[in-house]
Amino acid sequence: AQSVTQLDSQVPVFEEAPVELRCNYSSSVSVYLFWYVQYPNQGLQLLLKYLSGSTLVKGINGFEAEFNKSQTSFHLRKPSVHISDTAEYFCAVSEGSNFGNEKLTFGTGTRLTIIP
């Protein structure tokens, strides 16, 4: 069965500093990987996704993530954060070869706080 681990529940970062949010997954088959962001009092919004091809994926708002199959990781990065990036970030995985399985499995989330 697939699973996702987000090791950091909270990450404080100074404004304009770089940030990395960590995500590790477990699956016995090929996977699709997603990062979602949740701003206060809102639902989840897709940041980026990895399906196949280039392991470096670029998303909205200057975020990018790198798929590393050998380390089973999909860490999210941004070179310079802004106050507006304050939100909760969720990593999610689906098993790409398990057709008929409609489910996404989410991590427990990382709360990113930007310090002015």
Partner 1 sequence: DVKVTQSSRYLVKRTGEKVFLECVQDMDHENMFWYRQDPGLGLRLIYFSYDVKMKEKGDIPEGYSVSREKKERFSLILESASTNQTSMYLCASSRTGAASGQPQHFGDGTRLSIL
Q: Using CB under 8 A as the criterion, which residues of the chain lie in contact with partner 1 when the complex forms?
A: 6, 9, 32, 34, 36, 41-46, 49, 51, 90, 94-104, 106-109
Cβ atoms of 104 and 34 closer than 8 Å:
yes
Please, which residue, 13 or 48, has the CB nearer to partner 1?
48
Please, which residue, 9 or 26, has the CB nearer to partner 1?
9
Distance in Å, CB of 46 to partner 1, minimum: 5
Q: What Cα–Cα distance (Å) separates residue 17 from each residue in 13, 86, 110, 115? A: 7, 13, 17, 10
Distance in Å, CB of 29 to partner 1, minimum: 10
Distance in Å, CB of 15 to partner 1, minimum: 25
For residue 15 the two structure tokens come to 């404004």
Please, which residue, 73 or 98, has the CB nearer to partner 1?
98
Distance in Å, CB of 47 to partner 1, minimum: 10
What are residue 85's phi and psi, to 5 degrees?
Answer: -85, -5
State the CB neighbour count (10 A cutoff) for residue 2.
Answer: 18
Please, which residue, 26 or 80, has the CB nearer to partner 1?
26
CA distance 110 to 66: 17
